[in-house]
Amino acid sequence: MDSAVWLIIAAALAVGLLLLLVMRTKLQAFVALILVSILLGLGVGMSPQEIIATFEKGMGDTVAFIAIVIGLGAMFGEMLRVSGGAEQLALTMLNKFGEKKSPWALGVAGLIISVPVFLDVALVILVPILYTLANKSKKSLLFYGIPLLAGLLVTHGMVPPTPGPIAAASVLEADIGWVILFGLIAGIPAMILAGPLFGKFISKRIHINVPEMMDEQAAALAELEPSTENQKELPGFGTVLSLILLPLVLILFNTVSPFIFDEGSTIRTILTFIGDPYIALTITTLLTFYILGTKRGYTRDEIQQITTKSLEPAGIIILITGAGGIFGEVLVASGIGDVLANTMQQVDLPIVVFAFLTAALLRISIGSVTVAMVTTSSIVGPIVSTMSVSEPFMGVLVIAVASGSTIASHVNDSGFWMVNRYFGMSVADTLKSWTAMSTIVALVGFLVSLIISFFV
């Protein structure tokens, strides 16, 4: 058999085995990626010494970047959660937009809140607000819930410093600033179409009342409105918004400074330094400790306990991303990347389309956004390394991967069941609402990234 053909078959078998191990045997994704990487290395003729060296390089190169970013982001998000900053932001947005435009307020709030706070945590925090609105208006819970979920999913899936996009950018070695910029450009129309517009459509066809078991939570929050005394206990809206946007602004300054200031200028040097993701998130996290922690009466021990606990979920994300880096490095070392690149050139399939379709297939099969992003990036990375592309194009490619990785959340995704439980829906109605919404987000994100790819 031709060696090139065998390399392609080996790569396909590796991905198939990964799906089998994660879906059927329920093997932890981190272990599954490690095992598949070993077998792939042996299958393509790498020596044990080469495999070990490849493991060290793949894990080291990947984790060296994302571990710091995800760790800092997790602590930042936990302080925002504990302080009540997420509720403050959502309630203030509702007050500013007014009752008639509340779905738009919730969509925008979701976009912002999901920057530092994990999607599932943000939903748990904000779902009582949805219950209160639905009980007052007598409208379907989906009228308010879908816009919020769309905003949360868009940022969670497309905008760093959330874990998935950070992981994909790390594996593909894309500039974070470009990923943020294109993530927002693709994400905002995705939120609008999948959120307020689709929410209005689907809520007329599926009426969901607040689940009876959740009525107590709704009643407990009924008095929590922007005009009440309770709001005085929450951190200020301007403070919360500034803290969330600060790292994004600093990173974007770093990205655009080469186009504005001359090389070697003092301003450019400063912006490059404080706009590095490490420094930007360190500055923001320390400010968060002080403004939302110390100034609000938390002791040093309490802040330490809060932030230490936040690192627990971050750990598994870091490990899975590192294992994905190993898988990608094995693909590079084996020469599969070159073979796949040549094959794609022969069939004339744009890399952006290939990245989206690969991510979508993995997402539908595995269920995990992060695993789909990391695995796809590991497959695409060796291919794009053989091409001559710009830094902005790499940012677009990350968004294509991210879009595919958010598509069609269904019964193999924990997020599906979380929405199913908190909204009290049947499986069929969850598929018609949540799954359809996630698919709209993915398709809009892909369409925008494909269009942008022609210009960068």
Convert the pLDDT of each residue in 312-337 to its tens digit.
Answer: 777 877 888 788 778 878 877 877 76
pLDDT tens-digit profile of 106-163? 999 999 998 888 787 788 788 888 988 898 899 999 999 999 999 999 999 999 888 8
Cα(450)–Cα(429) distance, rounded to whole angstroms?
A: 31
Beta carbons within 8 Å of 269's beta carbon, 6+ residues apart: none
Q: How many residues belong to the chain?
A: 456
pLDDT of residue 341: 65
Would 45 be classed as within a structural domain?
A: no
Whole-number average pLDDT of the chain = 86
Beta carbons within 8 Å of 13's beta carbon, 6+ residues apart: 43
Distance of CA 285 to CAs 12, 25, 118, 229, 288, Å?
Answer: 42, 39, 16, 28, 5
Would 437 be classed as within a structural domain?
A: yes
Tokens representing 282 are: 């360190």
Share of the chain above pLDDT 90, in %: 41
Would 29 be classed as within a structural domain?
A: no
Would 2 be classed as within a structural domain?
A: no
Would 416 be classed as within a structural domain?
A: yes
Would 97 be classed as within a structural domain?
A: yes
Q: Which residue has the higher pLDDT, 423 or 211?
A: 423
Cα(126)–Cα(218) distance, rounded to whole angstroms?
A: 11
- Span 296-317, average pLDDT: 86
pLDDT tens-digit profile of 95-121? 888 888 999 999 999 999 988 887 877
Contact by Cβ (8 Å): 144, 102: yes
Contact by Cβ (8 Å): 76, 288: yes
* pLDDT greater than 60 at residue 230: no
Distance of CA 236 to CAs 17, 80, 96, 220, 261, Å?
Answer: 50, 12, 14, 22, 35
* pLDDT greater than 50 at residue 224: no
Q: CA Rg, the chain, in Å?
A: 22
**Has this prediction a pTM greater than 0.85?**
no
Would 60 be classed as within a structural domain?
A: no
pLDDT of residue 216: 53
Tokens representing 185 are: 């450009």
Among residues 400, 407, 405, the alpha carbon closest in space to that of 435 is found at 407
Contact by Cβ (8 Å): 437, 103: no
Would 301 be classed as within a structural domain?
A: yes
Number of domains forming the structure of the chain: 1
The domain containing residue 330 runs over which residues?
65-453
